Amino acid sequence: MDTVVVRVPATIANLGSGFDAIGLALSWHNEVRIERASEGISISATGPGAESLARDETNLVARALRSVIGEDMPLGINQLIAIPNGRGFGSSAAAVVSGLVAGRALGGTNDTDEQLLAKAISFEGHADNVAPCLLGGITVSTAASTIRIEPPASIRPLVCIAPHAMPTDVARAALPNEVPRSHAVANLGRASLLVAALSQGRSDVLMDATEDLLHQPPRFELMPASGALVRALRDAGVPAFLAGAGPSVGALVDAGGAGDAEKAARALAPEGWEVRLESIDPQGARTVAER
């Protein structure tokens, strides 16, 4: 095989209460074309944030690819980017997973999804974005295990895309080292409820299940517009939360009332924010062309 094209979804991690543990894949994708070259490595990219991507072996797609096929194969990499960097939709996870999946196809390796997931976690540090990006649907992860949940037809994700980026490391640095026991207990119950709700398609409990006391309050201090939008949407009955580490905002809404939730979000989102009603991608990363 000389050429492979891989498509990978955007993701939302945390979903409010499921900090560093729960994530889902969106039907919104990057595409990467990788081919054998005559020498060295060449990298091109188009789309939002393309100008900031490395054009050498430090490129994240290239690094992930090399971890599967080794350092010797000359490569040409073309990235078609739809997922904006630093907005809370797993852009780095998409880069890592695309490189790993392309490497498996191009190198003809026998790596399983479980082995690729372990590699992806070694790049990202945790599974909440890479697991749904690779496997599709909804995923629940610990440091040692991941379980995939088939997405329910009764629930749809709604996203409000911030016009500016927030580096994930900055958002993580804002988190306290300790939290009150009462907050930890409340989040434990709500994260458990969220898993049950997503497994059973119970949109009626999503307001309770997505409420968070651990990571969002300190991040809202860094992102006051995001915090104000989350609170306004929740006051309007929309189960909203930070998309990953922010600054964008996500929500999980009943499919039957998704249009009304989208209208509320458009009315409440600050100027310059993009509102999109999405679907959950059940497939995750996939090879769409080989030659």
Q: Say if residues 285 and 113 touch (Cβ distance below 8 Å).
A: no
Separation CA 89–CA 132 (nearest Å): 11
Burial 257-275 (b: 16+ CB within 10 A, else e): ebeebbebbeebbeeebeb
- Round to whole Å and give the CA distance between 102 and 6: 6
Residue that the structure tokens 């944030």 belong to: 49
Q: What pLDDT shows up at residue 188?
A: 96
* Distance between first and last Cα of the chain: 6
Distance in angstroms (rounded) separating the CA atoms of residues 107 and 92: 22
Rg (alpha carbons) of the chain, rounded to whole number: 19
Q: How far is the CA of 11 from the CAs of 77, 177, 281, in angstroms?
A: 22, 26, 9
Q: How many helices and strands in the chain, by DSSP H and E?
A: 10, 11
Region class of 54: left (phi > 0), else alpha (psi between -120 and 50), else beta: beta
Determine the Cα–Cα distance for residues 275 and 269; give it in Å rounded to an integer.
8
Measured CA to CA in angstroms, residue 190 lies from 15, 178, 214, 279 at distances of 11, 19, 11, 23
Nearest to 55 by CA among 71, 72, 79: 79
How far apart CA 237 and CA 165 sit, in angstroms, is 27
CB 280 within 8 A of CB 125: no
Q: Helix, strand or coil for residue 290? A: strand
- Token pair of 180 as six digits: 């009150």
Predicted confidence pLDDT, tens digits, the chain (291 residues):
689 999 999 999 999 999 999 999 999 999 999 998 878 889 999 998 888 898 988 999 999 999 999 888 888 999 999 999 999 999 999 999 999 999 999 988 999 999 999 999 999 988 999 999 999 999 999 989 999 999 999 999 999 999 999 888 888 888 999 999 999 999 999 999 999 999 999 999 999 999 999 999 999 999 999 999 999 999 999 999 999 999 999 999 999 999 999 999 999 999 999 999 999 999 999 998 777
Question: Is residue 93 within 8 Å of residue 131, measured between CB atoms?
Answer: no
